[in-house]
């Protein structure tokens, strides 16, 4: 038996006491840094659960990374274009969800965008502006309609041998959800899991009513321009400001429209609040591609999604469309008031 499980009963006992401190543990995972924060009356008793959560994220990384040749996704990309293969149940679950979002978004989210992401150098290469002809040539190799997944039998086949999948737009969210599930299973009531902005919040930190997270300033003038209070929710942000290519006086971000092969240009970032981090992760990317008008319509018609959409405005300012259902949890930083024009929808 794992000796960590022998310590978990002590954590259950400690959970009955009010938290007096918030302890954080971090680890490199999925090409970034993941953090687990636990509000606890005893940091020693919180470590076994944190260890389980960190391990859950590492396990998702080993299955879904596109940065190694040893992951389950890498094996799928090598074999599924030639034969029916069996897949890991967790990969089937995540891929099945991603295909649903792709269908519901009209193709704005598509995990088969991988060849285009590599062409632009955003995955395993040096970012560069590719030739327009090369983009056109790759478009026929992209399309989730060519993915034949049987989620019940955990089998998979690609109808085109050139097809490749990239779960980067959903795996971090799923990893945060798996870590959160481990913490809940260990009896932890107050925690925040964060994988590069893909977060799950439960309960509250020590001596506060809710977890508060910053919404990043796309121009990096300040670390964040607003704050969001989270109450048993998940949140994720997709932005075109982290990876980009500068060429011919233009800036091309890393979020690609799978339907055209070109980076999106209308929105610079989207923050989505949802019941799970996997939902928030995928829909933040999809709404970035859909743009402000379609994105706002989709969110307004959703019972579970809430969103903040940001676009550039004249004079180095930004338009911020915020779902009015998020307004009570949203606070604009005073020093950002002159640059961010907030518009509820």
Q: Is the pLDDT of residue 140 over 80?
A: yes
> How would CATH label the architecture of 72-158?
Orthogonal Bundle (1.10)
Give the mean model confidence (pLDDT) for residues 68-93.
96
Sign (positive or negative) of CA dihedral 21, 5, 36, 102: negative
**Which residues are registered as beta bridge partners of 234?**
200, 274
User: By C-alpha distance, which of 147, 107, 129 is closest to 258?
Assistant: 107
pLDDT in tens, 29-55: 988 999 999 999 988 889 999 999 999
Q: Are 344 and 327 in contact (CB under 8 A)?
A: yes
Q: How far apart are CA 110 and CA 94, in angstroms?
A: 13
Contacts of 131 (CB under 8 A, 6+ apart): none
DSSP 331: E
pLDDT in tens, 285-332: 999 999 999 999 999 999 999 999 999 999 999 999 999 999 999 999
What is the pTM assigned to this prediction? 0.92
User: By C-alpha distance, which of 232, 184, 204 is closest to 11?
Assistant: 184
CATH of 210-345, one of 3.10.520.10, 3.40.50.450, 3.30.70.870, 3.40.50.300: 3.10.520.10
Domain ranges, ordered by start, for the chain: 72-158, 210-345
């Amino acid at each position: 038996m794992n000796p960590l499980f022998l310590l978990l009963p002590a954590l259950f006992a400690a959970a009955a006491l009010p938290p007096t401190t918030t302890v954080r543990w971090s680890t490199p995972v999925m090409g970034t840094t993941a953090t687990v924060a636990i509000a606890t009356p005893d940091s020693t008793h919180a470590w076994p659960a944190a260890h389980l959560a960190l391990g859950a994220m590492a396990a998702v990384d080993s299955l879904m990374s596109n940065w190694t040749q040893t992951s389950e996704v890498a094996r799928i990309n090598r074999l599924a274009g030639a034969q029916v293969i069996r897949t890991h149940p967790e990969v089937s679950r995540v891929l099945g969800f991603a295909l649903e979002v792709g269908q519901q978004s009209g193709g704005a989210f598509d995990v088969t965008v991988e060849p285009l992401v590599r062409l632009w150098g955003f995955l395993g290469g040096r970012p560069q502006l590719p030739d327009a002809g090369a983009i056109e040539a790759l478009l026929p190799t992209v399309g989730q309609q060519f993915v034949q997944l049987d989620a019940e039998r955990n089998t998979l086949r690609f109808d085109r041998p050139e097809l490749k999948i990239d779960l980067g737009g959903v795996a971090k969210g799923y990893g945060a959800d798996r870590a959160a599930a481990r913490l809940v299973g260990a009896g932890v009531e107050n925690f925040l899991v964060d994988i590069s902005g893909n977060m799950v919040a439960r309960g509250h930190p020590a001596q506060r009513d809710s977890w508060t997270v910053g919404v990043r300033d796309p121009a990096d003038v300040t670390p964040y321009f607003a704050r969001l209070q989270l109450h048993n929710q998940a949140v994720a942000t997709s932005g075109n400001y982290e990876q980009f290519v500068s060429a011919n006086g233009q800036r091309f971000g890393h979020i690609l429209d799978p339907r055209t092969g070109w980076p999106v240009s209308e929105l610079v970032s989207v923050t989505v609040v949802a019941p799970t981090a996997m939902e928030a992760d995928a829909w933040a990317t999809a709404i970035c591609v859909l743009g402000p008008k379609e994105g706002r319509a989709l969110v307004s018609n959703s019972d579970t999604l809430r969103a903040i959409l940001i676009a550039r405005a004249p004079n180095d300012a930004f338009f911020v469309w915020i779902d009015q259902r998020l307004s009570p949890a949203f606070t604009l930083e005073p020093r950002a008031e002159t640059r961010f024009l907030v518009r509820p929808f």
